[in-house]
Structure 1
Amino acid sequence: MTNYVIVGAGSAGCVLAARLSENSSVNVVLIEAGGPDTAQEIHIPAAFPQLFKSEFDWDLTSEPEPGLAGKRVYLPRGKMLGGSSSMNAMVYIRGNRLDYDGWAEDGAEGWSFNDVLPYFRRSECNERGEDQYHGKFGPLSVCEGRSRNPLMDAFVQAGVEAGYRANPDFNGEAQDGVGLFQNTQRNGMRCSAAVAYLHPAMSRPNLRVITGALATRILFAGGRASGVEIAVHGELQQIHAETEVILASGAYNSPQLLMLSGIGPAADLAALQIPVRLDLPVGIGLQDHPMTLMSWYTDTETLMTAATAENVAKLTTEGRGPLTSNIGEAGGFFRTRDGLPAPDVQFHAAPVMFYEEGMGIPTAHAFGFGPCVLKPTSRGKLSLRSAKPGSKPRITHNYFATEEDRNSIIEGIRIALNIAKQPALRSHIKGEHQVPKSDSKADIWNYVQQYTHTVYHPTSTCAIGTVVDSELRVKGVDGLRVVDASVMPSVVRGNTNAPTIMIAERASDLIRGVACYV
């Protein structure tokens, strides 16, 4: 007998599988469309762009984005154990207190910052130790960056010279300022949700992990979810759940599976001749962080020359050196105008030529940084392309649909251009690689439309309050939950991996009916 069937072995699925299987009296099946996470490039931090458009990538693409003059945006998502935590930039950011308090004020009971902080602390093993904001006994290893390229120290110093505070902990008392990011790494290697949670649990006899299995639809018995149909090597199988089916496939794939199973906007489903089981706004309300990077040539050595025998040895024997770089080593949080309650843009800074949506091969020493819009007011939509489970969904983020979002990115770029002029960075800059023609609004906006890409943080397609309740149960059906970034009522101000792990930690307690045991 299987109690819980979890669809998706990404960040949330790995947490759920590990936590729920702690009870030896229940049986858990974890289903993953991709394969194992054994490839070397998964675990070497600086190698993650090599995973783009590979067998480890769902390799999605947006529809023509209206706010980007019709540009289609490449959307990488992890397709392996660990999901996107096995191919992300490993930045450990939680978001802002106001994000969670805002969720709670809007009706997401139990999701205020004070409610979720214990779950962040429970998940975390921070090498700095324990305090009121951080934990040191959790599965997820959180460490200082071990690359420490001098360009990143120069970026932080330039931010200070431009008048912004140095912030040693973006997950502490205050978020504003510039600094170096902490990373989800262990001994200089990637610490994905699979490494942190799933692999230590896989020897349990009550946990079964099925890879290479595409979920095609949810099974129902009357008004209750009873299991999942999967395709393995072209053959259909059914996995039944006595207690619950839990979707943990992310902000793109979880809504897709719901809609394939007849749960979604009735008119959209009817147009594809999918029988409507529940008319819910699945896929509506999509949010993401659009990012616009700029880059400059430099004579300072960058990650372009990191793959040397010496650096490989430093990685494998010391867990240090350029190959431990998460690429986005530094950054900051800024308010582009007065009167904002929290930052509206975040910078990521990289000591390498990072261009063509991360797929460009560095041809010279260069470094880059730039803003993403942290709390967009624009909303997009995900819908089905066809009723075939293997078809990729239609995704429109609707980036920069509002004047507020457009103003944030334009002023964010002006902040970046000002930081680049400061003495600490000016001495490293030898020319322009990709920057706007000027700091005029027209030139910046033209640059934004040409060079914006995702910073890989899709959320809110199965949001609390519209699709699921505050305990993440799908409205109108028993035995079915969604547990991943899709349940966020709105995207948090920061990278989304740590919040997704937190959501799954809290969901595991909701499912088990226990309180946080931190």
Structure 2
Amino acid sequence: MWPFSSNSFVQLNDLHDEYDYIVIGGGTAGCVLANRLSVNPEHSVLLIERGPAVDSWISRVPLFSASFGGSPLARKIQSVTDLVTGRPVDIYQGNGLGGTTLINSLFYTRGPAGQFDEWERNGAEGWGSKALLPYFIKSESVQYEASPRAHGTKGDFIRFCALLRLRLVIGEWSNRHNTGFFYSNFQHCADASEVLGFPHNPDVNDPDNIPVGWVRFPITRDANGHRISTARAFLSPGVLATRHANLHVCPNTIVERLVLEKEGDDLIARSVIVGPTDMKVGSEITKEVRIRGEVVLCAGAFGSPQVLLLSGIGPTEHLKEAGIPVLKDLPVGENLQDHFGVFSQYFSPLHESLLRIRHQPLYFILQFIEYLLYGTGALLAPVVQMGIFACTALLDDVRGVPSTSKHPDKNTIPDIEIMPLAYARGLVERDRSRGGFSYLTVLLTPESKGTVRLSSTDPRETPEIDLNYLSVPGDRERLRQGLRLSMRIAERLMESGNILEPAEAPKTDDDEALDAHIKDQACTTYHYSSTCAIGKVVGNDLKVKGTRNVRVADASVFPEIPAAHLQAPSVVVAEKCADMVLKAKD
């Protein structure tokens, strides 16, 4: 499955007794951190991943792999019953080396500079936009026309630097734009956005650009049309082969807990207890691995708090209820956030929809052949190619379009994202004669917060997750405004002669109709964050408060959820953490 030698990975029984650094979780951030910590051959590094190491051909094809519900590399868990929808939320996470970058939609968006600067003003020193920019650049190899001031670039800039004999480091992780719009309705949406007052932002990741307007999404895909997970980018066959002596990657393994000891006023992690992900009856094998230096949790917004809670770090009341001795009282598992989304769905001509792949077998065969021969076509998963970012504070309260008296600047923080999709579900999906087009309206900056709690002291059991969507009334009002804006965009397309027919879309834009639509069409966007937030659970150095050698480096540390898709900012957390860990050793 993985195109490496049999020596690329180690088994549980082959682990050394001690490592300098132990990274828990080989997902989006963990692969990056393992790479950076193991550059020095004198540092012994262990990366523990609960899922398998898989890099099959199918897992590289964007359309086949970008399927949260159908991918074998997706781990499904459920939240408690959500009060907005009246049903549990199906949660999918990447389950394998590379984490959710194995199954996500490939979008590389960093987040608005104004939000990072706001974090720094609120106490997260070192997490402002200027401090983070070098870390974004470090890992990135941008494959479209972009400013080298803001990006790790290739092409003419590299040739220019070579002529001047300038040494230039280019990151491992490529991102590029799709060539043109695969479906014409995307261009129609871009045109409608501009008419309504949303100009084109040519580079969503340039911090000097105004972050409100319509954008083309950069995607983490290589020149051959293959998905680039962080495993492929940062733990390539070459990396694992050359570092096998000091970098051990152990898949299908779980960390049960940290072994912590009190020393003075601090806790020190002495070792980790590890075991197989799937515990079979009669084979309950665990192993204790000592930590010479530091342990870093990269297990995500659910996994990282679960490990801390099982280790005795968390809210006192909850730990006592679970029967776990309290070593440190911290709000671990609180502050959970996600980008809450609502679909608005329309019938469209079949040729304007990815549903054509499903409804016309011959078309699928032709697209499959095109991908094999040229690396192009519908198998590149062009279901979403652009988005519209808006700030509701700058919208007209009545019409839901940009106000003529309020204007954004580069410090504006968008709180709504509207993603047109050449796809629809529900009623549209069941009609094989037509296609579907939809708008996913997403609340980017929710104030509502949920929780992650232990459901059991068994580390293999999934935690109890309460997403608590729209519990702050202002979130609902801003989401309504976003839905009104998506209605205006759809209306503009229909007025311009585009064939769109409402299927499951808001009937009117009054509050009652929008609330009914929210209840019916709400969904998660799989962007879980902030359960070990900076300032609350970890310090600005990402060390868990009250510990000397335990850090967290994944989406759980964001002070609040970034107004972006989370893979790019999660990698930056890993880059910055690696820098801090290595400097601390020096």
- The 1-side partners of 2:481 and 2:82 are apart by 21
Q: TM-score, normalised by structure 2?
A: 0.83
Structure 1 stretch 369-378 or stretch 483-492: which is displaced more?
A: 369-378
Contact 1:354 1:367 in 2 (8 A): no
Q: How does 1:102-501 map to 2 (within 5 A)?
A: 102-128=118-144, 129-136=146-153, 137-146=170-179, 148-172=182-206, 173-187=209-223, 188-199=225-236, 200-203=238-241, 204-205=243-244, 206-222=246-262, 223-232=267-276, 234=279, 235-299=285-349, 300-306=351-357, 308-338=364-394, 341-354=412-425, 363=432, 364-423=434-493, 427-501=497-571
- The 1-side partners of 2:386 and 2:380 are apart by 14
Structure 1 stretch 257-266 or stretch 430-439: which is displaced more?
A: 430-439
Contact 1:41 1:51 in 2 (8 A): no
Letter in 1 for 2:194: V
Q: Compared with structure 1, are the counterparts of its residues 327 and 48 closer, same or farther at alpha carbon in structure 2 (3 Å cutoff)?
A: farther
Contact 1:65 1:398 in 2 (8 A): yes
Q: Secondary structure at the match of 1:418?
A: helix
- The 1-side partners of 2:415 and 2:467 are apart by 18
Letter in 1 for 2:43: V
Q: Compared with structure 1, are the counterparts of its residues 201 and 104 closer, same or farther at alpha carbon in structure 2 (3 Å cutoff)?
A: same
Letter in 1 for 2:190: V
Letter in 2 for 1:13: G
- The 1-side partners of 2:203 and 2:65 are apart by 25
Cα deviations across residues 241-276 of structure 1 (Å, max 9, x unaligned)? 211111001111100111011111011011010111
Q: Which residue of 1 aligns with 2:55?
A: 38
Q: Compared with structure 1, are the counterparts of its residues 109 and 159 closer, same or farther at alpha carbon in structure 2 (3 Å cutoff)?
A: same
Q: Compared with structure 1, are the counterparts of its residues 470 and 326 closer, same or farther at alpha carbon in structure 2 (3 Å cutoff)?
A: farther
- The 2-side partners of 1:379 and 1:395 are apart by 11
Contact 2:343 2:438 in 1 (8 A): yes
Letter in 1 for 2:580: L
Q: How many angstroms does 1:58 deviate by? A: 2.4
- The 2-side partners of 1:156 and 1:225 are apart by 52
Q: Secondary structure at the match of 2:366?
A: helix
- The 2-side partners of 1:214 and 1:460 are apart by 22
Q: Secondary structure at the match of 1:404?
A: helix
Q: How many angstroms does 1:514 deviate by? A: 8.2
Q: Secondary structure at the match of 2:392?
A: coil
Contact 1:42 1:51 in 2 (8 A): no
- The 2-side partners of 1:355 and 1:260 are apart by 40
Contact 2:125 2:540 in 1 (8 A): yes
Q: Which runs of 5+ in 1 are unaligned?
A: none
Contact 1:353 1:362 in 2 (8 A): no
Cα deviations across residues 473-494 of structure 1 (Å, max 9, x unaligned)? 0111221110001000011111
- The 1-side partners of 2:507 and 2:346 are apart by 13
Cα deviations across residues 353-381 of structure 1 (Å, max 9, x unaligned)? 2569x9x7885411111311111111111
- The 2-side partners of 1:153 and 1:106 are apart by 39
Structure 1 stretch 49-58 or stretch 122-131: which is displaced more?
A: 49-58
Letter in 2 for 1:259: L
Q: How many angstroms does 1:114 deviate by? A: 0.3
Contact 1:215 1:257 in 2 (8 A): yes
Q: Secondary structure at the match of 1:2?
A: strand
Letter in 2 for 1:142: N
- The 2-side partners of 1:56 and 1:426 are apart by 42
- The 2-side partners of 1:500 and 1:269 are apart by 28
- The 2-side partners of 1:392 and 1:279 are apart by 22
Q: Compared with structure 1, are the counterparts of its residues 354 and 271 closer, same or farther at alpha carbon in structure 2 (3 Å cutoff)?
A: same
Structure 1 stretch 335-344 or stretch 212-221: which is displaced more?
A: 335-344
Q: Which residue of 2 aligns with 1:56?
A: 73
Q: Compared with structure 1, are the counterparts of its residues 141 and 37 closer, same or farther at alpha carbon in structure 2 (3 Å cutoff)?
A: same
Contact 2:421 2:440 in 1 (8 A): no
- The 2-side partners of 1:10 and 1:507 are apart by 15
- The 2-side partners of 1:34 and 1:425 are apart by 49
Q: Which residue of 2 aligns with 1:47?
A: 64
Q: Compared with structure 1, are the counterparts of its residues 153 and 239 closer, same or farther at alpha carbon in structure 2 (3 Å cutoff)?
A: farther
Letter in 2 for 1:255: P
Q: How many residues align?
A: 512
Q: How many angstroms does 1:48 deviate by? A: 3.2
- The 1-side partners of 2:270 and 2:178 are apart by 45
- Asked which structure has the greater CA Rg, the reply is 2
Q: How many angstroms does 1:314 deviate by? A: 2.5
Q: TM-score, normalised by structure 1?
A: 0.94
Structure 1 stretch 74-83 or stretch 168-177: which is displaced more?
A: 168-177
Contact 2:200 2:213 in 1 (8 A): yes
Q: How many angstroms does 1:176 deviate by? A: 0.7
- The 1-side partners of 2:261 and 2:306 are apart by 21
- Percent of aligned pairs with the same amino acid: 31
Cα deviations across residues 292-342 of structure 1 (Å, max 9, x unaligned)? 111211113322234723322322332221111253221110122337842
Q: Secondary structure at the match of 2:439?
A: strand
